[in-house]
């Protein structure tokens, strides 16, 4: 959702330093991206400029896989911005990842969603602006960094269970060697699957004193940013990107927003709505969007909006539209053809 993104995206100075270590100057990036050279010293860039910078790096390095591995491993921990530094000094890998998900909200356009189930911990990357998906290089860097975080924090050479990308990523053998697992492309979304047991590993870089200084400042900054947006819109945004993982509950959403269930319920009541109403609303909106695209089978639509069976989806859709999903789609496609 475009209205939930920050107007400007901050690029850490360590990013430019990392590029220099790889023999790529910041000026070359700016020129290739067709951006003014002053962009390097700007406090922030727009989403389109941000994507252009990453695409320029991809073009100049030549291969996405090599570019991902080189930059992730070359980036010096000391040059991480405070929001990332807080994750590096977390208590354990799980604490670090949860902090990453929370503080990522301060730096759009990408966002992260974690699901723990069985032996797996799945981290899915989503975009706040669905109409403009990010370049493959940015996707790869984001997922690779999450594993690199665990490696540096625990001091162990952790491996992933599986990595999925929606777009081609270059030298897959190099990526599989880095992640230590099979890497797939052409997936429906971008996901990193970790060994859940690894989340229990303590961080050798744990620094309680530093966290006590950083956490209140970061939380206050994030809270101020979130308050600028309607709580209703924030909940709908979280629900929209969580539906494919199953039916999200209010506890999960409240935790992601950094508040209690009672506080979230109270704020939604103040907005004259409820969690269940928003969940139904988001499902309805997403159902219409997916059904308008004939490439999705109806059973896929049901799954994508969090229904375990088609019958439940059919009942809900009849309540929303007074018609079946197939009839609604046929009418929409007929209308589009006539226009």
Who contacts 31 (Cβ-Cβ below 8 Å, separation ≥6)? 37
Residue 247 has pLDDT above 80, yes or no: no
pLDDT tier at 227 (50, 70, 90 boundaries)? low
Cβ count near 118 (within 10 Å):
6
Comparing 211 with 106, the larger pLDDT belongs to: 211
Backbone angles phi, psi at 185, to 5 degrees: -125, 165
Q: Using an 8 Å Cβ cutoff, are 256 and 299 in contact?
A: no
Kindly report the length of the chain: 339
Report field, pTM of the whole predicted structure over 0.85: no
* pLDDT class of 5 with cuts at 50, 70, 90: very low
Helix, strand, coil proportions of the chain in percent (round to 5)?
60, 10, 30
More reliable by pLDDT, 235 or 336:
235
Q: Is the pLDDT of residue 103 over 60?
A: yes
How crowded is residue 190: how many other Cβ atoms within 10 Å of its Cβ?
A: 25
**What is the token pair recorded at 266?**
């109270």
Q: What is the pLDDT of residue 130?
A: 46
What is the Cα–Cα distance from 74 to 16, expressed in whole angstroms?
11
Which residue matches tokens 């100075």? Answer: 13
Return the pLDDT at 6.
44
- pLDDT at site 218: 87
Q: To which H or E segment does residue 328 belong?
A: helix 325-338
First to last CA, the chain: 28
The answer to whether the CB of 124 falls within 8 A of the CB of 144 is no
Residue 219: its pLDDT value, please?
84
């Amino acid at each position: 959702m475009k209205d939930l993104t920050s107007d400007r995206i901050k690029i850490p100075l360590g990013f430019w330093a990392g590029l220099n270590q790889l023999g790529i100057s910041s000026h070359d990036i700016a020129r290739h991206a067709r951006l003014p050279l002053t962009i390097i010293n700007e406090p922030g860039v727009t989403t389109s400029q941000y994507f252009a910078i990453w695409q320029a790096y991809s073009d100049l390095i030549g291969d996405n896989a090599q570019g991902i591995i080189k930059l992730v491993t070359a980036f010096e921990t000391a040059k991480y911005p405070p929001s990332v530094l807080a994750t590096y000094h977390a208590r354990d890998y799980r604490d670090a990842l949860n902090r990453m998900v929370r503080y990522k909200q301060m730096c759009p356009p990408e966002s992260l969603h974690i699901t723990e189930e069985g032996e797996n911990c799945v981290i899915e990357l989503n975009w706040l602006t669905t109409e403009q998906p990010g370049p493959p290089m940015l996707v790869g860097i984001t997922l690779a960094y999450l594993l690199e975080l665990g490696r540096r924090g625990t001091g162990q050479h952790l491996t992933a269970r599986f990595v999925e990308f929606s777009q081609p990523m270059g030298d897959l053998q190099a990526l599989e060697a880095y992640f230590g697992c099979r890497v797939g492309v052409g997936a429906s979304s971008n996901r990193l699957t970790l060994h859940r047991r690894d989340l229990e590993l303590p961080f050798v870089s744990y620094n309680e004193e530093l966290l006590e200084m950083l956490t209140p400042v970061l939380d206050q900054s994030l809270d101020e940013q979130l308050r600028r947006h309607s709580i209703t819109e924030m909940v709908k945004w979280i629900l929209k990107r969580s539906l494919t993982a199953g039916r999200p509950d209010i506890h999960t959403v409240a935790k992601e927003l950094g508040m209690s269930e009672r506080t979230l319920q109270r704020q939604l009541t103040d907005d004259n709505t409820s969690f269940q109403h928003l969940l139904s609303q988001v499902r309805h909106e997403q159902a219409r969007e997916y059904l308008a695209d004939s490439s999705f089978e109806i059973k896929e639509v049901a799954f994508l909006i969090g229904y375990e069976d088609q019958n439940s989806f059919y009942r809900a859709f009849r309540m929303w539209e007074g018609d079946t999903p197939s009839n609604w789609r046929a009418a929409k496609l007929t209308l589009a053809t006539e226009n």
